[in-house]
Amino acid sequence: MAESMKGLKRTARCAEITEEYIGQKVTLMGWVAAVRNKGGIVFAVLRDRSGTIQIVAEDSDPRWGSLKTESAVAVTGTVQKRAGAVNPNMKTGSIEVIPEELRILSVAQTPPFEVKDGIDTREDLRLKYRYLDLRRPELQRKIIMRSRVVQLIRDFLSGEGFLDIETPNLIGSTPEGARDYLVPSRVHPGAFYALPQSPQLLKQLLMCSGFDRYYQIARCFRDEDLRADRQPEFTQVDMELSFVDQEDVIDVNTRLLTFLLEKMPPVMRSLGFDEELIRGIEASAADLRENGIGRITWQDAMDRYGSDKPDLRFGMEIRDVSETVKGCGFGVFTGALENGGVVRGINAKGQGSMPRKKIDKLVDTAKTYGAKGLAYIAIHEDGTCKSSFAKFMTEEEMQQLIAAMDGQPGDLLLFAADRFRTVCAALGALRLVLGEEMGLIDHHAFRFVWVVDFPLLEWSDEENRFMAMHHPFTMPNEDDWQKIDSDPGAVRAVAYDIVLNGTELGGGSVRIHMDDVQEKMLEVLGFSKERAEEQFGFLLTAFKYGVPPHAGLAYGLDRMIMLFTGSDSIRDVIAFPKVKDASDLMMRAPSAVDAKQLEELSLSIAVKE
């Protein structure tokens, strides 16, 4: 059935053949993408990772007419100018190969779905046969692009003096933060390694060792629920620098991103990406080259966009109307204010005639983010209003509120009154929903922003204590540090995120290098001396031997590639992704293991009901 390729050597990939090859003999190897048997003449399409080329078999091997698609074959033949019509949609559309020899290296069964672009096959089936799905050109180019981008990142960072240093994947567990994946130790019964959530502590130690500028394309593991942009294992572009401050990190990373955006378009073009997407990247590259990347403080981002990862592709900013409605007759507003909350709104321009049903859906959206409801004013074209709360307010109060929101005839004003965080979450989410529905988002635009001045701490109702917003080694803002006891929540951190189109691409911080500040920080976080010593002792000790001031940043590579390739999910840019419940549909992992393996690990299983 399967034939040997003995004596044959591939001379080029399919789509690398150009008109310059006309008259030359080539040997191509790839997969049968299509067979069009016209009777006396057979047109076959051969595909490999470069693309496709047409083979025209006439008075040749009779097997050409009955080739099974997706079979792996080798073809030796001569390149010629097309005898028939040129196909302008094909890179090799002006040439074809007249075969002399066909070797069927491996016959394919009929695949469970058609291996071509534009299919709408359920993702679970595609994931079960991921190796076939990955043959499809649209996935091939994404995976290839990922490799190219990684290479560009390495080129840039290497040129900037960064060293690529690997850190271990079997490390100690630190319960702070995300859940760890644990690996049992055979030689230490009852003891476990953890897989790293990030190389954070190790890269800080590398700074202590003097490696100055480090980077790593690091696999990270977090045992948390999945999302379209979250996988249990994912890849970070991780970096750390010594003797630097925030400005140095932002500078080198702004240049890195500019470099990527400038270098990507020709690569993407040769891989056949959507031209509009490429133009968007080119426009963004020009913008970054000229203007750099803008900045917004965390507070500003929350106030104006209701999010610490604002999507700047459109406006519709949130406005605070707490002052305006103070003392009005609407109890929901005044009640929220009395409890220390805020009243804020967004103006959906031109949506004043939105049907009640749609408004109700917006209310439901707000509720999923913890808001108890949503108040609205629909301003009709004739200037009259329909409002859910007009009866509680005087006409004058209504007019003041509308004026505060810059409400014009035809607008829809939506208000949330609650705690600051809840109002931000609800209006931030509504803004995104409305921006999408109203067609305000340019899907080919790339809008970067640095979000700076994050809070150092975040109150956790669940833990009933302050938690580190970034991590416990984040440098507090010097100007705020004296408030660490009186008003810990008001202390800002020297932490920053890079945000693209409403997605957090990466984040980092300046790290604490003074042991007194670090000790105080751990104390505020509720670590006893003993527990701090137990978990981070090696780091705290290292800091006693001459730690340099250092800072760093880590990108989510998968998300970056997702956005750059115009994908909706990081599953599209990961060769073998896992599904929502963190299992692998192809390998059927995770799975039970032999009793013998468990015994070696001194483990027994007690499944909870």
Partner RNA sequence: GGCCCAGUGGCGAAGUUGGUUAUCGCGCCGCCCUGUCACGGCGGAGGUCACGGGUUCGAGUCCCGUUUGGGUCGCCA
Applying the rule CB under 7 A, the residues between 96 and 115 that interact with RNA are 96, 110, 112-114
Specify whether the CB–CB gap between 427 and 352 falls below 8 A. no
Q: What angle do CA 89, 90, 92 make, to 5 degrees?
A: 150
Closer residue to RNA (CB): 94 or 270: 94
Among 10, 13, 68, 444, binds RNA (CB under 7 A): 68
Among 317, 458, 533, 600, binds RNA (CB under 7 A): 458
382 binds RNA per the rule CB under 7 A: no
- How many residues form the binding site for RNA (CB under 7 A)? 73
CA distances from 330 to 11, 77, 319, 321, 448 (A): 78, 82, 18, 13, 39
Q: Write each residue from 112 to 151 as x if it is in contact with RNA (CB under 7 A), else as -, in one continuous string.
A: xxx----xxxxxxx--------------------------
69 binds RNA per the rule CB under 7 A: yes
Nearest alpha-carbon partner for 47 in 85, 92, 7, 15: 15
Closer residue to RNA (CB): 441 or 467: 467
Regarding beta strands 295-297 and 448-452, do their DSSP bridges make them parallel or antiparallel, or are they unpaired?
parallel
Nearest alpha-carbon partner for 121 in 107, 139, 108, 109: 139
Nearest alpha-carbon partner for 11 in 38, 29, 30: 29
Closer residue to RNA (CB): 328 or 553: 553
Three-state secondary structure string covering 82-95:
CCCCCCCCCCCCCE
228 binds RNA per the rule CB under 7 A: yes
Q: How far is the CB of 7 from RNA (least distance, A)?
A: 27
Edge to edge, the sheet with strand 495-500 lists: 163-164, 213-221, 233-242, 550-556, 503-510, 495-500, 448-452, 295-297
Among 79, 366, 379, 468, binds RNA (CB under 7 A): 468
Specify whether the CB–CB gap between 396 and 421 falls below 8 A. no
Closer residue to RNA (CB): 231 or 284: 231
* Range list of β-strands (E), 483-585: 495-500, 503-510, 550-556
Q: Interface with RNA by CB under 7 A: which range of 4-12, 86-94, 332-340, 378-386?
A: 86-94
535 binds RNA per the rule CB under 7 A: no
Of residues 471-490, those binding RNA (CB under 7 A): 471-472
Instruction: Compute the distance between CA of residue 92 and CA of residue 14 in angstroms, rounded to an integer.
Output: 8
Q: Write each residue from 174 to 213 as x if it is in contact with RNA (CB under 7 A), else as -, in one continuous string.
A: x-xxxx-----------------xx-x-------------
CA distances from 575 to 139, 147, 234, 270, 578 (A): 9, 11, 11, 21, 10
Q: Interface with RNA by CB under 7 A: which range of 151-159, 267-275, 366-374, 386-394?
A: 366-374
Q: Interface with RNA by CB under 7 A: which range of 79-87, 284-292, 390-398, 436-444?
A: 79-87
Q: Write each residue from 21 to 60 as x if it is in contact with RNA (CB under 7 A), else as -, in one continuous string.
A: -------------x-xxxxxx-x----------x-x-xx-
262 binds RNA per the rule CB under 7 A: no
Closer residue to RNA (CB): 86 or 593: 86
**452 strand-pairing partners:** 297, 496
Instruction: Compute the distance between CA of residue 554 and CA of residue 497 in angstroms, rounded to an integer.
Output: 9
366 binds RNA per the rule CB under 7 A: no
Three-state secondary structure string covering 350-370:
CCCCCCHHHHHHHHHHHHHCC
Instruction: Compute the distance between CA of residue 397 and CA of residue 296 in angstroms, rounded to an integer.
Output: 33
Instruction: Compute the distance between CA of residue 413 and CA of residue 450 in angstroms, rounded to an integer.
Output: 29
82 binds RNA per the rule CB under 7 A: yes
Among 143, 467, 540, 598, binds RNA (CB under 7 A): 467
Among 72, 171, 217, 469, binds RNA (CB under 7 A): 469
Of residues 417-446, those binding RNA (CB under 7 A): 425, 429
